[in-house]
Amino acid sequence: MGGVSEADGDVFKALADPTRRKILDELAERGGQTLFEICSRLAMKHQLGSSRQAISQHLEVLINSGLVTSRREGRYKFHDIDTGPLERLTDRWRSSTAHEIKEN
């Protein structure tokens, strides 16, 4: 089994921050949100008073890690969660565990 790849490291880095985990929670609950909607929901539900710029920077980390995708429609940019990177991480360990169980 190989070590942690750079892409995996980006996922772990993205998940290490509590604000980014709250953003992911919000996108899991309701996808296709704009930056304004995410900021509003974080303020109302989690009492997070982060600036739009700060949330935008968190979104950029999440996008770079592959955990969030964005699409532009006219003037608006919509964000969605992408669990693919998490599935790839857990597949690595699940397949390893399944292999070990078969050997025993």
Whether residue 67 has pLDDT greater than 50? yes
For residue 95, the model assigns a pLDDT of 72
DSSP sequence for the chain: -----HHHHHHHHHHTSHHHHHHHHHHHHS-SB-HHHHHHHHHHHH-----HHHHHHHHHHHHHHTSEEEEEETTEEEEEE--HHHHHHHHHHHHHHHHHHHH-
Q: What is the pLDDT of residues 24-63, one digit of tens each?
A: 999 999 999 999 999 999 999 999 889 999 999 999 999 9
